[in-house]
Structure 1
Amino acid sequence: MSTAPHSRLSTGVEGLDDVLEGGLVPNRAYLLRGGPGMGKTILGEHFLTADDDATSLFVSLEESARNLESNAASVGIDLADVHVVDYSPDATEFGDGGAYDVFAPGDRGESLSERIRDAVEAHDPDRVFVDPLSRLRQFTSDDATFYEEVGAFTSYVRETGATLLFSTQPTMTSPDEELEFVADGSIELASERKGRTVSVRKHRGAAFQSGAHTVTIDGDGMHVYPKLVPDSRSREFDAAMQSTGVAELDQLLGGGISPGTVTVISGTTGVGKTTTAAQVAVAAAERGDRTVAYLFEEARDTFVHRADAIGMPVASMLDDDRFALETVEALAVSPDEFAAGVREEVEERGARVVVIDGIAGYRTAIRGADDDLVRELHALCRYLRGMGVTVLLTDDVHTVTGDFEPTSERISYLADNILFLRYLEHRGELRKAIGVLKKRSSDFERTLRAYEITATGIRIGDPLRELRGILTGTPDWSREDE
């Protein structure tokens, strides 16, 4: 056999190997559960083709070899070097007393088991995939005999030195929980509201990441996006405050924004949240810090055009790779998939500033309750803090004027800094104000200032000391100034 006894075997799916903390333990039997269309066969084909030096055997009890090869090719998997043994039902055997005559199950199970054993002996494989092994149930006289057959078969394959992966299709009348007792590990593919997922239910003698992890299938096969573990990675960084590129904004923030912190920029629609986040991001890129902005609510061209129109050279920064823009279709990406993309930007491309514009679009990607949003954002932000990344989140609150609402979605606790923008109506004119509500790492200016977006960028005025009631949206002159 080609596998070292204490190494791990790749499943052929990189993200799944991460969930399994390195892959499968060799010379063991693994149960692959899931309903029709969940991707069990594709995962098994990845497993069989993961090692070019291994001898692999595919025992098919459901699909013909021709269909298997065609379907595998459609997702970029080549079965040319895999021994495919086709024991799927043949139409010519229906009612002719052949091996799949459903009216004589007692003897047929033993016959089929022997045929599978013969295939293993003939090819002496390192990796074996039987799809689906639960089909043996149809050819045994009762459940007890079926479980005995499966237990004997898994023991036999392990004794040959091979690693076995076998799939099942549990139903209400034919559950497969009992098979977990004969398997060393159990992997389950399922479909949830957020899409396909994979979970490891059991991994005897080995660590694994619990929970449901996102699965996608495309022309390159199966991809698994493990849930982000916030404390799994960190790096050293300089925590000295960095300028936002606007002196008055730095004054409001008590000197600027520190790396490794999360800043929430909140305000109602059109008040300037994205422009303010872009200003901080552009200043970072001009210092040489790679910046990436994820746009959930705005088109890439719109963002670039608007930034260039007020003197922010985003277009030129995109050309020299200091600044990256990613448009995110919220309904087409899961939180796990999004987090994997962020990790790639941070760990492989060295991003130091990450902008998520905006939280409402990110919540659409979550497709869950407020608690789900907070949980996912918490994990992502904690990871980015540990990596020394400056995080900017834009948060759309619903009130234009009236009672002050600092943030939406109960995310205030995630923020190290809260910068808010506010419309106000004064003497029949609509104006804007900016202020800082919270900063954990240092003191900050507790005044409100006038805020404008001009042809040359953001302009922040002097403190609005002559007005009172600004947070109500309809301020009055203070008594001293009247």
Structure 2
Amino acid sequence: MSAERLSTGIRGLDTVFNGGFTTERSYVLRGDAGAGKTLVGLRFLEAGVERDETSLFVHCSQTMDELREKADSVGIDTDDISFLDVRAETNPTDEPRETFVADVSDADLVGRIAERISELDPDRVVVDPVTRLRHLFSDSERYREELVGLARHLKERGATVVFTCRTDRYREVLSFVDDGRLELRRDERARTLTVPKAPKSAREGVHGMRISDDGIAVFPALDPEVHERDFQPESLSSGIPQVDQLLDGGIERGTTTVISGATGVGKTTFATQFMKEAAGRGERSVIYMFEESTETFYERSEAINVPVKRMVDSDSLQLEEIEPVKRSSVEFSNMVRREVETHETDIVMIDGIEGYNLSLRDDRLNLVETMQALCRYLKSMGVTVILITEHDSMTGQVKATGEGISYLADNIILLQHLELEGELRKAIGVLKKRTSDYERFLREFSITKNGIKVGEPMDNLQGILTGMPRIDDEAE
């Protein structure tokens, strides 16, 4: 029989804890100043009020006015939450205090906290920050005994408890009272949440978090192992016969394709061909645009006979322009997941990887790890992934993919500028195809008002990838 769960009231945090906090348990919420501990505690209590439960907030540091102002800033209603002020300055240490030690009956618990607990019989309690209670007791040993006794007393009364504390003040004593532990972190780029200690059902990983005027949201780290959708492996045509010849029929459903090339070579336009064909099959695609506005994309596509507006209007294509530094990588992954699971999306394109790295509020390592997890999730869901990446060389030696991306790729398609006999031209070729053979020749590639044109194999050229192409007279 599974234990009863209490919703935390925070979107995503309940998912991390497989339905919420376990009832009649104690949780420690730790983090540095400004990480969001108090707000998470207040939202947990508000969620209880919304379910006709009794909620008690024991504040040991901030005033009532400060707490209400903080709650109002994110839309938390504190009107029906009960508060108990036990700040050190309002409770001098020379005042008599009773005990929460287990062998003392409720009748002997006449201290301020015990009286309030007896009066309210709360279902949910937050003590913020619990380490400030240390100042109310004569020594650390007494503090430890009282804290352990308080946690036990609240559990026995059926309450679910959250203790908050600063990360640097998490002492051994708190490990005796926490059934679960949450760590909130905030740096100049992002907020994150991890669960160092929790029931086995809690989701592991670094979870994204956002606190704004709209409230608090948690974005669970993707676990590709728990997501799966049946799909039929098959080749997806580009709609261009010569490209399909290069790819031995097309790219396979449920694979990841990296399209690499210098700026202006036509990577996004080329990738859109697969989505145009998907629309003809009645499938849905989405493009996450990190480096181009939707207006510019509309103009370019319509100018070369790619009916993007008609695709969008028919709901076969969704365009999402990603604003810089508005989301963490985990938040973006959850955005993609909602799209896929809500609309059964078939193709996801991220345009481009460099913009992804610059626009999302994470360090480089976390960006790479989150992208890897996202691609594994999409693959398990049978979604075809297209990643657009840019290399630095306009016509010189090519490095096709960036760090952390190449091993994800089932297919790597290269678009390359080249200068030949004084004329600037373009070429397309396949560098990798994991699921089948592919054509080893490069072909000339061009974008015209009638769409993309791909020529015959350029078998008379050598040295294109070195940046010094030359005509092989013997091949002519």
Instruction: Give the TM-score of the pair, scaled to structure 1.
Output: 0.91
Farther off after superposition, 279-288 or 392-401: 279-288
- 1:211-360 counterparts in 2 under 5 A? 211-360=205-354
Amino acid at match of 1:167: T
Amino acid at match of 1:78: D
Amino acid at match of 1:324: Q
Residue 139 of structure 2 is matched in structure 1 by 142
2:106 is the alignment partner of 1:75: no
Amino acid at match of 1:246: I
Shift of 1:310: 0.7
User: 3-state SS of the aligned residue for 2:302?
Assistant: helix
2:393 is the alignment partner of 1:399: yes
Farther off after superposition, 401-410 or 300-309: 401-410
The Cα offsets for residues 101-151 of structure 1, whole Å up to 9 and x where unpaired, read as 4xx468569699811111111011111112222221111111111111111
User: 3-state SS of the aligned residue for 1:284?
Assistant: helix
2:182 is the alignment partner of 1:187: yes
User: 3-state SS of the aligned residue for 1:461?
Assistant: strand
Amino acid at match of 1:351: T
- 1:51-62 counterparts in 2 under 5 A? 51=48, 52-62=51-61
Q: Taking every aligned residue pair, what percent have the same amino acid on both sides?
A: 46
Q: Do the aligned residues in 2 keep the contact of 1:432 with 1:450 (CA within 8 Å)?
A: yes
User: 3-state SS of the aligned residue for 1:480?
Assistant: helix
Give the Cα–Cα distance (whole angstroms) in 1 for the partners of residues 362 and 160 of structure 2: 38
Residue 112 of structure 2 is matched in structure 1 by 115
2:436 is the alignment partner of 1:439: no
Residue 368 of structure 1 is matched in structure 2 by 363
Q: Do the aligned residues in 2 keep the contact of 1:109 with 1:136 (CA within 8 Å)?
A: no
Give the Cα–Cα distance (whole angstroms) in 2 for the partners of residues 255 and 113 of structure 1: 80
Residue 373 of structure 2 is matched in structure 1 by 379
Cα distance change, pair 136–410 in 1 and its aligned pair in 2 (3 A): closer
Give the Cα–Cα distance (whole angstroms) in 2 for the partners of residues 409 and 343 of structure 1: 24
Residue 91 of structure 2 is matched in structure 1 by 100
Give the Cα–Cα distance (whole angstroms) in 1 for the partners of residues 317 and 398 of structure 2: 34
Give the Cα–Cα distance (whole angstroms) in 2 for the partners of residues 166 and 12 of structure 1: 17
Q: Do the aligned residues in 2 keep the contact of 1:17 with 1:23 (CA within 8 Å)?
A: yes
Shift of 1:366: 6.2
Give the Cα–Cα distance (whole angstroms) in 1 for the partners of residues 460 and 414 of structure 2: 20
Amino acid at match of 1:342: V
Amino acid at match of 1:197: T
Amino acid at match of 2:385: V
Farther off after superposition, 238-247 or 262-271: 238-247
The Cα offsets for residues 345-398 of structure 1, whole Å up to 9 and x where unpaired, read as 0011211100001111122226434x5444222211111001010100011111
Give the Cα–Cα distance (whole angstroms) in 2 for the partners of residues 378 and 18 of structure 1: 21
Shift of 1:175: 4.2
Give the Cα–Cα distance (whole angstroms) in 1 for the partners of residues 316 and 2 of structure 2: 46
Instruction: Give the TM-score of the pair, scaled to structure 2.
Output: 0.92
Farther off after superposition, 403-412 or 275-284: 403-412
Farther off after superposition, 416-425 or 110-119: 110-119
Give the Cα–Cα distance (whole angstroms) in 2 for the partners of residues 457 and 340 of structure 1: 34
The Cα offsets for residues 257-314 of structure 1, whole Å up to 9 and x where unpaired, read as 1110000000111111111112222221232211110111111111111111111111
Residue 201 of structure 1 is matched in structure 2 by 196
Q: Do the aligned residues in 1 keep the contact of 2:36 with 2:184 (CA within 8 Å)?
A: yes
Give the Cα–Cα distance (whole angstroms) in 1 for the partners of residues 155 and 366 of structure 2: 42
2:130 is the alignment partner of 1:133: yes
Q: Do the aligned residues in 1 keep the contact of 2:11 with 2:216 (CA within 8 Å)?
A: no
- 1:451-462 counterparts in 2 under 5 A? 451-462=445-456
Give the Cα–Cα distance (whole angstroms) in 1 for the partners of residues 98 and 470 of structure 2: 87
List alignment gaps of at least 5 residues for structure 1. Answer: none
Give the Cα–Cα distance (whole angstroms) in 1 for the partners of residues 268 and 345 of structure 2: 19
Amino acid at match of 2:124: R
> For 2:444, which of 430, 442, 450 is the aligned residue?
450
RMSD across aligned positions (CA): 2.2
Cα distance change, pair 170–238 in 1 and its aligned pair in 2 (3 A): closer
Q: Do the aligned residues in 2 keep the contact of 1:107 with 1:140 (CA within 8 Å)?
A: no
Q: Do the aligned residues in 2 keep the contact of 1:296 with 1:329 (CA within 8 Å)?
A: yes
Cα distance change, pair 251–34 in 1 and its aligned pair in 2 (3 A): same
> For 1:423, which of 417, 420, 423 is the aligned residue?
417
Cα distance change, pair 206–446 in 1 and its aligned pair in 2 (3 A): closer
Farther off after superposition, 450-459 or 237-246: 237-246
Give the Cα–Cα distance (whole angstroms) in 1 for the partners of residues 193 and 209 of structure 2: 6
